[in-house]
C-alpha cells in the first residue's frame, strides 16, 4: 500500500504536494518523493524516510513548476532498498515521464522476463518500473498517452492506481477492477488526484468524485478531461481499505470510512454482545469501531490505551521484531480506566496476532478483570497478492485455526470477529464489488495456485469528457 498524488496548479505545486503527502503519510512510511516539471526540465527529489525527513524548505524550492506528482511508500521486507523509492523517471525523444504507483502486479515476473529478452535493463525490483517501461516504450510509436495507457492496461494483471507526469501534464489511471482507491478534487488554481480525499482536504479543496475503475484522467493548464480506457463487469475494491488502511475521515468510492467502521462496531455488538464496564478502542484505527459498539450497547466508551502520536503503524513495519518492540513505545495503558474492569477491547483486525497478544497482556497487567476482544474484520486467513504485505499463510494467526485457538494464543477472555456478510453490509457496495481474497482465499484476478472469482475485462477507446457524463465508447475485446 502506498499513497500517490498529482497536482496541476498555477501557483506552483511543490509545497501543495508536500502537504498532501503529509496527509497520506499513513499509507507509507518507508520513503517519499516528488517530481515536478518546468520549462523543458523534470525535477525530482526523493529519499527514504518520512515526509518531514525527506523534504524541507530548501528542497521544495528546488522543485519548480505548476505540474507534479508525489509518492509515499510503505516498507516490505523484500524491497526496502533506496533504488525502489518513487517516482521513477524516463526520458525519450524530448519527452520527460515520471510515474508513481500504488498497488501490486501479479504478472511482474513474466513481464520483466519478456522485456529483458528484448534488451531492457531494469534498475529496481518495483512493479512501477515495469509500468513506466511499458508506457515509455508505447510512446515511441503511439500517438498519445491515452494509447500508451491502453496498451499498458492490456499487459498488466493485478492492482494499480498510478499518477504520471508527462512534461507539464499530469495523468492518473486506475485498474479496471478499482482495487486501489483514487479520487479527484478541485483546488484554487487547478486540480488534484490522490489516493484519498484527505489529501484534497489538506489543500482546502473540493472533492469531486472517485476516478472510475479503468479511467484515465488528464490534467493540464487548460483543465481536466477524462477517457474511459477499460471496463470490467464487476468491481473489486480492496476491503482492507475500509478495515484498516484508509483514514477514517476519507471518502473511498463514495463512502465515508468512519461511517463504515461505526456501523461495523454496531454490528459487532449485535453478533457478539457481552456484559462489561467499558468499551476501549485500540487507537487509532479501532476508535470508530469502538464508538459504534458503545453506541449500540450503551456501555461507556473509555480510553484505556493512550497512543504516542509520534509513532507510525506497527503493522506496516518491515520485520516482526520491530513490530513487537514498537507496541510498547506506541501504546501505554491508562490504568485508572482499566483496573478491576470488564473491558470490551475493540480493534480493526488481527493479522499476525503479536500486537493483539501484547496489548491484551498490557491491559491485564493494568488490572483488568476480563478482556473481551471484538474485531472489526473477519479472520484474515489468506495472503494478499494485491498490495498488502501479508505474503504467507504461516504469518497469519487465523489461518488454519479455530477461533478458540486464536483466543488462547492472544490470551483474551473471549474473542469475536465480525461475520463477512455483516462487514459487506456495513460497507454497502455488495460482496461482488469487493476484493475479499485475504478473508476468503478467492481472488478477483488469476493467481497461480489460488482460487479466482471469474471476471471479463473489455478494453475500449474512450471519448474524453470534461463534465464526467456518460462515456460513448466502442468496445474492443481481447
The per-residue pLDDT for range 393-403, each reduced to its tens digit, is 888 999 989 99
Q: Tell me which of 455 and 355 has the higher pLDDT.
A: 355
> Based on the structure, what is the number of domains in the chain?
2
Q: Tell me which of 44 and 452 has the higher pLDDT.
A: 44
Same domain, 161 and 277: no
Same domain, 253 and 208: no
249 close to 258: Cβ distance less than 8 angstroms: yes
| DSSP at 21 | H
What's the grid cell of residue 373?
Answer: 476482544
Is the predicted pLDDT of residue 102 greater than 90, yes or no? yes
Q: How far apart are CA 174 and CA 286, in angstroms?
A: 29
- The per-residue pLDDT for 478 is 25
Confirm whether 82 is domain-assigned: yes
The model's pLDDT over 452-467, given as tens digits with 9 standing for 90+, comes to 876 556 655 554 444 4
- The per-residue pLDDT for 390 is 67
The model's pLDDT over 65-87, given as tens digits with 9 standing for 90+, comes to 999 999 999 865 455 678 889 99
CATH number for the domain harbouring residue 212: 3.60.20.10
What's the grid cell of residue 44?
Answer: 525530482
Confirm whether 449 is domain-assigned: no
Share of the chain above pLDDT 70, in %: 89
Same domain, 283 and 303: yes
Q: Tell me which of 255 and 394 has the higher pLDDT.
A: 255
CATH number for the domain harbouring residue 313: 3.40.50.2020
- Which residues is 312 bridged to in the sheet? none
Same domain, 202 and 249: no
Report CA dihedral (225, 226, 227, 232) to the nearest 10 degrees: 180
Confirm whether 450 is domain-assigned: no
Confirm whether 330 is domain-assigned: yes
The model's pLDDT over 148-204, given as tens digits with 9 standing for 90+, comes to 999 999 999 999 999 999 999 999 999 999 999 999 999 999 999 999 999 999 999
- From the number of C-beta atoms within 10 Å of its C-beta (0-12, 13-18, 19+), residue 471 rates as middle
Q: How many CB atoms lie within 10 A of CB 458?
A: 15
Same domain, 246 and 158: no
> Which of 130-144, 199-213, 291-305 is predicted with the least confidence, judged by mean pLDDT?
130-144
- The per-residue pLDDT for 143 is 72
Confirm whether 465 is domain-assigned: yes
Q: Tell me which of 113 and 172 has the higher pLDDT.
A: 172
Q: What is the mean pLDDT of the chain?
A: 89
Confirm whether 197 is domain-assigned: yes
Q: How far apart are CA 35 and CA 46, in angstroms?
A: 8
At residue 472 the predicted structure's pLDDT band, cuts being 50, 70 and 90, is very low
Q: Tell me which of 113 and 371 has the higher pLDDT.
A: 371
The model's pLDDT over 207-224, given as tens digits with 9 standing for 90+, comes to 999 999 999 999 999 999
Long-range contacts of 350-353 (CB under 8 A, 24+ apart): 350/375, 350/377, 350/379, 350/380, 350/397, 350/398, 350/406, 350/410, 351/315, 351/380, 351/390, 351/395, 351/396, 351/397, 352/320, 352/323, 352/395, 352/396, 352/397, 353/397, 353/398, 353/406, 353/409, 353/410
Same domain, 247 and 147: no
Residues annotated as catalytic are: 2
Same domain, 194 and 86: yes
The model's pLDDT over 406-423, given as tens digits with 9 standing for 90+, comes to 999 999 999 999 999 999
- The per-residue pLDDT for 315 is 52
Is the predicted pLDDT of residue 326 greater than 90, yes or no? no
Confirm whether 72 is domain-assigned: yes
Q: How many CB atoms lie within 10 A of CB 141?
A: 9
Span 337-353, average pLDDT: 96
The distance in angstroms from the start CA to the end CA of the chain is 29
Contacts of 22 (CB under 8 A, 6+ apart): 51, 52, 202
Range of the domain at 199: 2-233+456-476
Same domain, 271 and 173: no
SS3 state of residue 228? strand
At residue 473 the predicted structure's pLDDT band, cuts being 50, 70 and 90, is very low
Same domain, 190 and 48: yes
Distance of alpha carbon 456 from its chain centroid, rounded? 24
Question: Is the peptide bond between 284 and the residue preceding it cis, with omega within 30 degrees of 0?
Answer: yes
257-271 helix and 420-427 helix, angle to the nearest 10 degrees: 150
Same domain, 260 and 306: yes
Confirm whether 448 is domain-assigned: no
Contacts of 422 (CB under 8 A, 6+ apart): 264, 267, 270, 271
Same domain, 402 and 290: yes
Is the predicted pLDDT of residue 137 greater than 90, yes or no? no
Same domain, 217 and 361: no
Q: Tell me which of 315 and 15 has the higher pLDDT.
A: 15
- The per-residue pLDDT for 474 is 34
Amino acid at each position: 500500500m502506498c499513497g500517490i498524488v498529482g497536482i496541476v496548479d498555477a501557483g506552483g505545486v511543490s509545497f501543495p504536494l508536500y502537504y498532501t503527502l503529509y496527509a497520506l503519510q499513513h499509507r507509507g512510511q518507508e520513503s517519499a518523493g516528488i517530481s515536478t516539471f518546468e520549462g523543458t526540465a523534470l525535477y525530482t527529489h526523493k529519499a527514504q524516510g518520512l515526509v518531514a525527513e525527506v523534504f524541507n524548505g530548501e528542497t521544495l524550492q528546488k522543485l519548480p513548476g505548476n505540474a507534479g506528482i508525489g509518492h509515499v511508500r510503505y516498507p516490505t521486507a523484500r524491497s526496502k532498498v533506496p533504488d525502489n523509492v518513487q517516482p521513477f523517471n524516463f526520458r525519450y525523444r524530448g519527452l520527460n515521464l515520471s510515474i508513481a504507483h500504488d498497488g501490486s502486479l501479479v504478472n511482474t515476473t513474466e513481464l520483466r522476463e519478456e522485456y529483458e529478452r528484448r534488451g531492457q535493463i531494469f534498475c529496481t525490483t518495483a512493479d512501477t518500473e515495469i509500468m513506466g517501461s511499458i508506457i515509455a516504450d508505447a510512446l515511441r510509436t503511439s500517438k498519445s498517452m491515452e494509447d500508451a495507457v491502453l496498451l499498458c492496461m492490456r499487459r498488466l494483471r493485478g492492482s494499480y492506481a498510478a499518477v504520471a507526469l508527462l512534461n507539464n501534464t499530469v495523468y492518473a489511471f486506475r485498474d479496471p477492477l478499482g482495487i486501489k482507491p483514487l479520487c479527484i478534487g478541485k483546488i484554487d488554481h487547478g486540480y488534484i488526484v490522490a489516493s484519498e480525499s484527505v489529501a484534497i482536504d489538506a489543500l482546502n479543496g473540493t472533492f469531486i468524485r472517485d476516478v472510475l475503475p479503468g479511467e484515465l484522467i488528464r490534467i493540464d493548464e487548460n483543465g481536466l478531461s477524462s477517457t474511459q480506457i477499460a471496463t470490467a463487469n464487476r468491481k473489486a475494491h480492496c476491503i482492507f481499505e475500509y478495515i484498516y488502511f484508509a483514514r477514517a475521515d476519507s471518502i473511498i468510492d463514495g463512502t465515508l470510512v468512519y461511517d463504515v467502521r461505526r456501523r461495523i462496531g454496531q454490528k459487532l455488538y449485535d453478533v457478539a454482545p457481552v456484559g462489561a464496564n467499558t468499551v476501549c478502542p485500540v487507537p487509532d484505527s479501532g476508535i470508530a469501531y469502538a464508538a459504534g459498539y458503545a453506541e449500540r450497547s450503551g456501555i461507556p466508551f473509555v480510553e484505556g490505551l493512550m497512543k504516542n502520536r509520534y509513532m507510525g503503524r506497527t503493522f506496516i513495519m518491515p520485520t516482526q521484531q520491530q513490530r513487537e518492540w514498537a507496541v510498547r513505545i506506541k501504546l501505554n495503558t491508562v490504568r485508572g480506566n482499566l483496573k478491576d474492569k470488564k473491558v470490551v477491547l475493540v480493534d480493526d483486525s488481527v493479522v499476525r496476532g503479536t500486537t493483539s497478544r501484547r496489548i491484551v497482556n498490557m491491559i491485564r497487567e493494568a488490572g483488568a478483570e476480563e478482556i473481551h476482544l471484538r474485531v472489526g474484520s473477519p479472520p484474515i486467513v489468506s495472503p494478499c497478492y494485491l498490495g498488502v504485505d501479508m505474503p504467507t499463510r504461516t504469518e497469519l494467526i487465523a489461518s488454519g485455526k479455530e477461533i478458540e485457538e486464536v483466543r488462547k494464543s492472544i490470551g483474551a477472555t473471549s474473542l469475536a470477529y465480525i461475520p463477512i456478510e455483516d462487514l459487506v453490509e456495513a460497507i454497502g457496495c455488495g460482496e461482488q464489488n469487493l476484493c475479499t481474497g485475504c478473508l476468503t482465499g478467492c481472488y478477483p484476478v488469476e493467481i497461480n495456485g489460488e482460487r479466482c472469482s471469474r471476471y471479463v475485462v473489455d478494453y475500449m477507446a474512450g471519448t474524453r469528457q470534461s463534465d464526467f457524463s456518460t462515456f460513448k465508447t466502442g468496445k474492443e475485446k481481447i
